[in-house]
Amino acid sequence: MSLANLFFSNVLFYFVSFSCIYFIFRRKQKNLKITSLIVVGVLIVSWFSFAFQSLFSSTEFSLRQLILLIITTITAISFIKLKTKIELTINTDKKNKIETFFFLFIYTSVPIFLISLPILSTNHMPGKFMLAPLDLLGIIIWMLGIYIHYQNNKLLEKFSNIPLQIKQRPDLIGFIMQFWSFYLIAINGVAGNLTFVGPLLVSIYLINKSHYPQNKD
């Protein structure tokens, strides 16, 4: 299974998934939560690429694929449940349905697949079965990142109306650490060192958007 086949099959599957999500949620609310949609998209790509590659690839299975799938899932679900997450929304009530649909598909697809590069790379050519030191380092950084994210998010819920910068948002630093841990795990796969664009994009976005209040519909 080539990387191109894996990529385009993921794009097609995300298009179908996005279509369902878009038309279901558009009926329930006027404002679509773009950031959460992107996170859900990364989760969809993670599971589909893992399943697709496991079923149709002759590449030897690696333990890091399963670990990366588990921690990506936990990170995505924990972000969606947060009350103080950074959320970009778009009002679709007065917009053309078809134009809005294709605009949002393209608008979300680009960051989703850039962020998912470490995951796609790991599932395509995961490398050796056994874990390497960088895998263990990635797991440790992820555990530390999710701990920082959760603990500080509880505190920040009390100050949700106060503008804060990135240095005052250790919860975001914890979230950024989680995505860099994905990269550390992906490095041990073939060409995984080239997937730094994913966590870099997350870091730039969160640093630029790190002020309150964020959940404005």
Report which of 23, 39, 28, 12 is spatially closest to residue 101, judged by C-alpha positions: 23
Q: HSE on the CB side for 41, CA within 13 Å?
A: 29
pLDDT score at 208: 79
Q: Which residues of the chain have pLDDT under 70?
A: 1-3, 28-30, 58-59, 83-88, 91-96, 156-169, 209-217
pLDDT score at 185: 93
Per-residue model confidence as pLDDT tens digits over 39-50: 888 999 999 989
pLDDT score at 68: 93
pLDDT score at 145: 93
Burial of 4 (0-12, 13-18, 19+ CB in 10 A): exposed
pLDDT score at 214: 45
Give the contacts of 144 (CB within 8 A, at least 6 positions apart): 174, 177
Burial of 171 (0-12, 13-18, 19+ CB in 10 A): buried
pLDDT score at 79: 83
DSSP-derived 3-state class of residue 32: strand
Quickly list H helices, 57-132. 63-81, 97-115, 117-124
pLDDT score at 35: 82
Per-residue model confidence as pLDDT tens digits over 156-208: 666 555 555 545 567 788 889 999 999 999 998 877 888 999 999 989 888 87
Amino acid at 213: P
